[in-house]
A and B are shown apart, each in its own frame.
Chain A
């Protein structure tokens, strides 16, 4: 689905990505983990074209994203940013209409998540009046609204109550069967352990592990992803 070759990104004198080579398999859920500042968000933003790499290529289904005219490849992507801040005076309904309009999407909005998260009551209120958790629900529903083949979710359950978080996780799991690819970053290892088929472990802008969660557990001889990653980090410090 996504192929990344030799990706390098510097912010001033800080090397954020130091040569990333990665293949993300289609119809699988891939988690990106790593400590703060490891380059997770930068990697995601580079795939979206929000950040321009200093070197390297990103290829989506055989086509380089640089060759995509007018960023049209982004029509295939549903993005859920980490922080949900929207125009204060618009309503969620207007937000859905706006993105649908901008994407030139003629299909009806996929409102499964709106229904599942019980957002209907909140759709016509100004976004500024919604609580942080409700805005995060709107954020999640927006990412799934335009039937994308690739979902990029940056800390999707942060700020959600357990009920909403559970519903969102079920929806994410169900994407596999719809033949959609999901890329998630999260700090909550148990959540990734539950959801992900594959995991990418980033440290200081380099990939330390990329492969299936199962293999990582075997390799580190741990039962949970959390312990497996901790074991890898401990080995890193020892080395």
Chain B
């Protein structure tokens, strides 16, 4: 890693790590995991319930905290840009300085309750790792989307509105839309369009990926079922995982492009 990226990351991350919001975020995952492990009855159920929490909470918190943080850092970003460093490196440092503390808070919050129990049931250790990995990927995706929003929208209220809009669209409206489409076109072969829809939504991709890994087809839903028809077993995991990597890379690249061209 370039020296400049590491330096920006170091200070940015130590600022973020001391923020009260990040602590609350980590504590939330810790309490949710601890509670589920105690009362859900078995690690399998706990991981499955956690999955729903993760898919819901990570995109929302990352988008909202990310955009608010970036708007608050606007003036300081200008001061950093006035230093003898390139925009590309500054972007990389700022991005990692936001994504890494968020990912660490999540991994720590979920991981510690499992760790103190000796890693949990060995049979579900793979699922736990998949859950943590998917959560980190979603953090990477939505931090990048927060960057895209905060660099493109000048007005912070509009930016925050956009962030919440993106979340509503991907986390809530999307499911409704899939349901309506599936019900309306029930007599037609709609597996392919549904499959395409899954690839269009990183949250749904993460869900399908985790369910394939956990092998719980009953909870797949429409898009998951369509997915399983096309890709079975390991191939499905590879396809969903690959698509999710694309979803991490694309907004990061887009954010970098906007950041380089922006007039501050």
Q: What is the interface of chain A, defined by CB distance below 8 A to chain B?
A: 11, 45, 48-52, 70-75, 77, 79, 81, 83-90, 94, 98-99, 101-104, 126, 142, 152
* Chain A residue nearest in CB terms to B90: A102
Residue pair A83, B84 in contact (C-beta under 8 Å): no
Q: Which of B32-40, B73-81, B210-218, B242-250 contacts A (4 or more CB under 8 A)?
A: B73-81
Residue pair B76, A85 in contact (C-beta under 8 Å): yes
Cβ contacts under 8 Å, B79 to chain A: 79, 81, 142
For residue B228, give the distance in angstroms from its CB to the closest CB of chain A: 46
Residue pair A71, B72 in contact (C-beta under 8 Å): no
Residue pair A48, B19 in contact (C-beta under 8 Å): no
Cβ contacts under 8 Å, B4 to chain A: 102
Residue pair A48, B81 in contact (C-beta under 8 Å): yes
Out of A85, A98, A152, which one reaches B7, CB within 8 Å?
A98
Out of A11, A49, A51, A85, which one reaches B72, CB within 8 Å?
A85
* Chain B residue nearest in CB terms to A75: B84
Cβ contacts under 8 Å, B14 to chain A: 89-90, 94
Q: B184 in the interface, Cβ–Cβ < 8 Å?
A: no
Q: B117 in the interface, Cβ–Cβ < 8 Å?
A: no
CA–CA, A70 and B145, complex, Å: 26
Residue pair A50, B82 in contact (C-beta under 8 Å): yes
Residue pair A51, B86 in contact (C-beta under 8 Å): no
Cβ contacts under 8 Å, A72 to chain B: 84
* Chain B residue nearest in CB terms to A83: B75
Cβ contacts under 8 Å, A49 to chain B: 81-82
Residue pair A103, B84 in contact (C-beta under 8 Å): yes
Residue pair B11, A85 in contact (C-beta under 8 Å): no
For residue B115, give the distance in angstroms from its CB to the closest CB of chain A: 27
Q: What is the interface of chain B, defined by CB distance below 8 A to chain A?
A: 3-4, 7-8, 11-12, 14-16, 18-19, 72-76, 78-86, 261, 263-264
Q: Evaluate whether A89 and B72 lie within 8 angstroms (CB atoms) in the complex, with A11-B263, A81-B78 already known.
A: no
CA–CA, A73 and B84, complex, Å: 7
For residue A22, give the distance in angstroms from its CB to the closest CB of chain B: 20
Q: Evaluate whether A87 and B75 lie within 8 angstroms (CB atoms) in the complex, with A70-B86, A74-B84, A77-B82 already known.
A: no
Cβ contacts under 8 Å, B72 to chain A: 85, 88
CA–CA, A33 and B72, complex, Å: 28
Residue pair B84, A79 in contact (C-beta under 8 Å): no
* Chain B residue nearest in CB terms to A82: B75
Cβ contacts under 8 Å, A50 to chain B: 78, 81-82, 263-264
CA–CA, A102 and B84, complex, Å: 8
Cβ contacts under 8 Å, B85 to chain A: 70-71, 74, 102
Q: Evaluate whether A79 and B11 lie within 8 angstroms (CB atoms) in the complex, with A50-B264, A85-B72 already known.
A: no
CA–CA, A88 and B18, complex, Å: 9
Out of A71, A87, A104, which one reaches B11, CB within 8 Å?
A87
For residue B78, give the distance in angstroms from its CB to the closest CB of chain A: 6
Cβ contacts under 8 Å, B261 to chain A: 52
Out of A87, A94, A101, which one reaches B76, CB within 8 Å?
A87
Ordered by A's residue number, 27 sampled pairs between the chains whose C-beta atoms are within 8 Å are A45-B78, A45-B263, A49-B82, A50-B81, A50-B263, A70-B84, A71-B83, A73-B84, A75-B84, A77-B82, A79-B82, A85-B73, A85-B74, A87-B12, A87-B73, A88-B15, A88-B19, A88-B72, A98-B11, A101-B7, A101-B11, A102-B4, A102-B7, A102-B80, A104-B3, A126-B18, A152-B82
Cβ contacts under 8 Å, B76 to chain A: 85-87
CA–CA, A99 and B19, complex, Å: 21
CA–CA, A183 and B254, complex, Å: 35
Cβ contacts under 8 Å, A73 to chain B: 84
Residue pair A89, B82 in contact (C-beta under 8 Å): no
Residue pair A51, B18 in contact (C-beta under 8 Å): no
* Chain B residue nearest in CB terms to A71: B84
* Chain A residue nearest in CB terms to B17: A89
Out of A81, A87, A94, A102, which one reaches B83, CB within 8 Å?
A102
